[in-house]
A and B are shown apart, each in its own frame.
Chain A
Amino acid sequence: MNRLPLEQKVLSENDRLASELRARFHAHGTLCVNLISAPGSGKTYLLERTLERLNPVMRAAVLTGDIETQNDANRLRRYGFPVRQITTGGTCHLDARMIERALHLTNPVSPAAAPARFSVAPAEGAPWSEQWELLLIENVGNLVCPSSYDLGEDAKIVLMSVTEGEDKPLKYPSIFYKSALLLLTKTDLLPHLQFDLSLARENARRANPAIEILEVSALTGTGMEAWMKWLQDRQQAVRGNMQGRVAQATAHGS
């Protein structure tokens, strides 16, 4: 019997694809964010209110993942931005291969033609290109599994609604550990609840001291401005880096 050391990531194939996606996003100046939460924390509603506030000329797109149905895509399509629904067919998370497939498809692929179980519905109503300024990915509602999969995003964003327990970051530390931003959602419900905001913040910081935290109510709009500014700042940083690289390449070339 012989033991051969391997020392490679289990998800090395996913990570390789994700790195390719990330390089492409950076080359195009695309800010890609991956929204993750438990089912019912308000990802789709937040996205609706976000799309509503985006500058209509912004090149933005949404990929939304669900185990079944096109319901979320149907909701999100009303705002004039292209939306693609990834139906995972049972899988509890999105992976880099699904994102790659969704970004490349220009025509619908019938489930029979695709070897994988997941399927991607085409964008309707708006043209689909690759030169996005903002790509919003709504992951499958699940606080555990999506945390293991890199999708090539710039930032994972975890949502936690105030109707959940303050100890969620302690129960599910992995996703808080890996997220750049925590959105505490549904804050309009606070007067009706015994939710301790400062305890929730403290618990999130215990899982990840560097995590940024914003409070939002997509319903009343409170906190939406700060969230939109967060996106805008990140988008400008990504674009700035791209322009910096282009300038550097030009300088080296001359």
Chain B
Amino acid sequence: MHELSIAGSILDTVEAESARRPGMRVVKVGVRVGELSGVNAEALQFGFEALVKGTHLDPLALEIEQVPLGHRCSVCAHLFSAQDEVSRCPLCASPEILLVGGDDLHLAYLEVEDR
């Protein structure tokens, strides 16, 4: 359950960005969370709301985009996504499959309005 400290890191950035833009109010922050990032989106949302409540940033929304895991065949370089466990490349049937992309943990954007 490290989502609370992740939420804290997001808020640190929002604070810093708000300080740089005194005429604006941040109303929403967008975050991208990969399936392999080790971060649970629900727990992050919960922790974020708990931290924001009652602070000068309140109300501030968090929008989480969950990025699914990608697979890449190391033989034919075919990129594909799969809901279920896969053991072979759907194109060339090679068992050499790499997991790719799912460890994203990014602040994507801020939505601001004039004060």
Given A1-B111, A10-B6, A14-B9, answer yes or no on A209-B103 (Cβ-Cβ < 8 Å): no
Instruction: Pick the contact of B99: A3, A93, A149, A208 (CB < 8 A).
Output: A208
Are A144 and B9 neighbours in the complex by a CB distance under 8 Å?
no
Which residues of the partner chain B approach A4 to less than 8 Å between Cβ atoms?
Answer: 17, 109-112
Q: Is there a chain B Cβ closer than 8 Å to A91's Cβ? A: yes
| Residues of chain B from 21 to 38 with CB closer than 8 A to chain A in the complex | 24, 27, 30-31, 36-38
Number of A-B residue pairs with CB-CB distance less than 8 Å in the complex they form:
91
Q: How many residues of A contact B (CB 8 A)?
A: 33
Are A8 and B106 neighbours in the complex by a CB distance under 8 Å?
yes
Instruction: Pick the contact of A13: B9, B30, B111 (CB < 8 A).
Output: B9
Separation of A233 and B12 alpha carbons in the complex (Å): 40
Which residues of the partner chain B approach A147 to less than 8 Å between Cβ atoms?
Answer: 38
Closest residue of chain A to B44 (Cβ to Cβ) is A10
Instruction: Pick the contact of A11: B9, B74, B98 (CB < 8 A).
Output: B9
Q: Is there a chain B Cβ closer than 8 Å to A220's Cβ? A: no
Q: Is there a chain B Cβ closer than 8 Å to A192's Cβ? A: no
Binds B, one of A21-29, A105-113, A173-181, A246-254: A173-181
How close is B105's CB to chain A, nearest CB, in angstroms? 5
Separation of A12 and B103 alpha carbons in the complex (Å): 14
Separation of A177 and B106 alpha carbons in the complex (Å): 18
How close is A242's CB to chain B, nearest CB, in angstroms? 29
Separation of A241 and B38 alpha carbons in the complex (Å): 32
Which residues of the partner chain B approach A12 to less than 8 Å between Cβ atoms?
Answer: 13
Are A177 and B99 neighbours in the complex by a CB distance under 8 Å?
yes
Are B38 and A174 neighbours in the complex by a CB distance under 8 Å?
yes
Sample of 5 A–B contacts (CB below 8 Å): A4-B109, A6-B110, A8-B13, A170-B85, A174-B36
4 closest cross-chain pairs (CB), A and B? A145-B2, A174-B38, A147-B38, A148-B38
A interface residue numbers (CB < 8 A to B): 1-14, 91-93, 95, 144-145, 147-149, 170, 173-175, 177-178, 206-209
